[in-house]
Amino acid sequence: MAKDLNLSVGGEWREQYQNYTNANFGQFPASFTEASPHQWMHRMMLHGDLHYRNALRLFVQLNNTTRSLNPNPITSQLDENQLAVHQWFLEANVNKHWLLRAGRQEMMFGQERFVATKEGPNTRQSFLGVTAEGKYPGYRLYAFYVKPVKMNPGVFDDGLMSEDFGGIYAVKTDKKRKLNMDAYYFFLESTQREYVFKKGLEQRHTAGIRFYSPLRSLNYDVEIAHQWGQFNALEISAWMFVWDFNVEALKHSFIGFSGNYVPGDESATDGQLNTFNTLFARPPFGQTVALNITNTLNLSPYLRYQAGTKWLATARASLVTRASTADGIFTPNMSPLRPLEAQAVSSKLGICDIYALEVNYVPTKHYFFQAELGFCQAGTYLKDSGPGKNVVYFAIRNAIKF
């Protein structure tokens, strides 16, 4: 029996320093005291991974995240979770094609535009439920039904959000034609999101498709998605279009153009909600600003240096405007960013221009270094609807895996 068991242990230790000038464009709650904070973010994750032959697997992972130096209140979902069982799941190989997993677990699909681990923030996202993975030559199929975990800042005090999340995600690869395709369907039932200054019952369906190339001299990534359903008495009808094209101009050096067009709500009186919900996506503009792609047109030229898995450096400009004057803008977790009051109406479109440099260095599989520098110039809409100060962001991350 013992020879059929295989136990491994390991973990990750990450430390990062962040420095903000005019965080959130100088707009923050009355309980905050510092508009330009700097902070130290600590994360320790330890895991045990037990395998029985090639049939069963038990995985348990502890999580410890803390924030210091910043006098502002803790944002529990992002900043601090002093001690929690971050993942615990039992996995079974049903047959040679299908794997079934049940318990608390992380999930990530595609470019993380809908479901992400949220590696950038201090505390990663996890879900409680059941997932299944099918592996066949040339394609994979994922199915899941979960509830997102609500991470609280204390010790073993996490709970569950009042949200139900399920879906199917299919991946098809074709090496001969150099064409990869993802297709997916998600369903979310929630009372946590807020639109038109109201919370309510949201039953939202998402269907989409993504075409992308493997890494080569000329690359493309195009994704389009449509959403429908019900929010209170409003019919949901929304869509998203995202693109990324780049070419290798010199060895390891790429010139690219990416962006998105995500229309917002068209009218407050037409009986429809056209606001797009990015569900559990990664922050699309990094840590410089807590801004979602919802109701935005983003044009983003960039330069990228990529040498294998050791070096990755990107210099990017993101020119972001509102797509609709009838809708506001949102944070990555779909809470309103602007306007915060119904009477704060503005016809301005300009949100911000973001200029960012990110450098990643991974000399071995055990060490990771990242440096980020970002400047965000506030646009006319931010200045017209509240504080609109320019943001400067700097961060250094070091992570050791063992």
DSSP string spanning 166-215? Answer: EEEEEEEEETTTTEEEEEEEEEEEES--EETTEE--EEEEEEEEEEEPPS
Question: Tokens for 13?
Answer: 């230790």
Q: Is the pLDDT of residue 5 over 70?
A: yes
* Nearest Cα to Cα of residue 230 among 262, 204, 266: 204
Percent share of the chain, pLDDT over 70: 99
Are 136 and 124 in contact, with CB atoms under 8 Å apart? no
**pLDDT the model gives residue 342:** 66
pTM: 0.94
Domain boundaries, the chain: 2-401
**pLDDT the model gives residue 351:** 97
CATH topology of domain 2-401: Porin (2.40.160)
**pLDDT the model gives residue 352:** 97
My answer on whether omega of the bond before 284 falls inside 30° of 0, hence cis, is no
Residue type at position 90: L
3-state secondary structure (DSSP) of residue 317: strand
Q: Is the pLDDT of residue 1 over 80?
A: no
Q: Report, as an integer, the average pLDDT of 136-162.
A: 95
Distance of CA 161 to CAs 133, 192, 341, 385, Å? Answer: 24, 8, 26, 31
**pLDDT the model gives residue 333:** 87
Mean pLDDT in the chain? 94
Q: Is the pLDDT of residue 178 over 80?
A: no
Q: Is the pLDDT of residue 226 over 70?
A: yes
